[in-house]
Structure 1
């Protein structure tokens, strides 16, 4: 199994914790997009069966596999018809932003649980194995969700950061962005599949994520 270990981003013995964390992260993220669009008057995602907490409706096979291979990926994009919103630009920003914010919320929940579990003595009578499993799961829940929050704010299509920028800029700029969206997609794919480009562009993101986690862990005395 050494060859498989070398191919993957995460240790094989920690895969169950990674899978659970990612399923939660992707499902809540896409549900947040779909539900907010539905509440703002767009039934597109609802009719497509995306206003649900069923992970099967949201997970993308390739995007999920890439998480394990290169450390990041994606779920199925939620279809949104901004023309059905009462205030398309404002509501478009909200619908785009709630996805990353949902990941930030999950990270905050993970931090709260870690503090409650490890700073209040709840696990004092648990075995070392159980304590280690809970700690590993909460660490992945926090790390992956903070990473996804930051990653999704990158202003490249098809990420949420790009959609937020589209709704913030003047209409003429948005039209130019729409005309050149294929180049942004091409650049995104290059970053995904070419290791040197991935290292140059995403290393700062990984470093920022690690710095945030280290700061949180140091402040609360968690994990380290």
Structure 2
């Protein structure tokens, strides 16, 4: 199939369902409706994280469509349906598991772009950059109440949830932009490398993400990484206090803490 139909771009009911879970759980976290605020935060952050993963992949696909790859419509990439990705496990399941385990926004990356249809190195670079730029934009939106100094009236539980969600977006953007084979950052620079270098690097692409996470287990690297994340979040008005309590609430299975109220 070379063309596209209106159905190729219709927003999937699956995505709408995830968005609905985000809205309802966000409302529960805001109003304190749930008996267990930690569970409401868990649902809200997880569902919103999956929404951001869908938007990340959509950004790749939409940019590829405008770059010349009209096959993305037939593959279902423009419907925001996470089940249409080449590797739903890599794009959805593993990122959610990493959030639960360690509070790190694992890069996804599972839309298959027919690169031979794309003309021009800048277009190739932009297609790769579109995903992590979406995470960066998501972080800016999540932190808007902080850097706009508009937190009056925002319940602390919801504030902390937004802060933790923003942390995930910042970690995802940073990790995605690393110039490591298999990650979007390498996809940005790859079109500008010589053919021989690309051929030499190609076999390592499947292991790039594993290598990054292996290196992140080194305490000094982990500390430096999260120092950088904290610095970016502080620039957006989010303090370490906010992200700490957001993660504590998120891990409701460890016992919901008595969330301290912010005064002053």
- State the TM-score, normalized to the length of structure 1: 0.74
Paired positions, count: 199
Moved more, 154-163 or 168-177: 168-177
Task: Report SS of the residue matched to 1:86.
Answer: coil
| 1:78 equivalent in alignment to 2:106 | no
Q: Give the direction of change, closer, same or farther, for the CA distance of 1:36–1:206 in structure 2 (3 Å limit).
A: same
Q: Deviations over 1:102-149 (max 9, x none)?
A: 111111112224455735x4x2xxxxxx61232123212322111111
Task: Report SS of the residue matched to 1:157.
Answer: coil
User: CA separation in 1, counterparts of 2:213 and 2:38?
Assistant: 22
In structure 2, stretches of 5+ residues that fail to align are 1-36, 86-90, 244-261
Match of 1:69 among 97, 101, 110: 101
User: CA separation in 2, counterparts of 1:36 and 1:101?
Assistant: 12
| 1:186 equivalent in alignment to 2:219 | no
| 1:170 equivalent in alignment to 2:190 | no
Kept in 1, the 8 Å contact 2:181–2:208? The answer is no
Kept in 2, the 8 Å contact 1:29–1:98? The answer is yes
Kept in 2, the 8 Å contact 1:114–1:138? The answer is no
- State the TM-score, normalized to the length of structure 2: 0.64
Kept in 1, the 8 Å contact 2:140–2:236? The answer is no
Kept in 1, the 8 Å contact 2:69–2:114? The answer is yes
Q: Give the direction of change, closer, same or farther, for the CA distance of 1:46–1:205 in structure 2 (3 Å limit).
A: farther
Q: Give the direction of change, closer, same or farther, for the CA distance of 1:20–1:44 in structure 2 (3 Å limit).
A: same
In structure 1, stretches of 5+ residues that fail to align are 1-10, 124-129
Q: Give the direction of change, closer, same or farther, for the CA distance of 1:176–1:76 in structure 2 (3 Å limit).
A: closer
| 1:133 equivalent in alignment to 2:157 | yes
| 1:216 equivalent in alignment to 2:236 | yes
Kept in 1, the 8 Å contact 2:179–2:189? The answer is yes
- Matching of residues 85-96 of structure 1 within 5 Å: 85-87=118-120, 89-96=121-128
Does 1 or 2 have the higher relative contact order (CA < 8 Å, sep 6+)? 2
Task: Report SS of the residue matched to 2:143.
Answer: helix
Match of 2:140 among 108, 116, 120: 108
Match of 2:25 in 1: none
Deviation at 1:48, TM superposition (A): 1.6
Q: Give the direction of change, closer, same or farther, for the CA distance of 1:69–1:46 in structure 2 (3 Å limit).
A: same
Kept in 1, the 8 Å contact 2:75–2:84? The answer is no
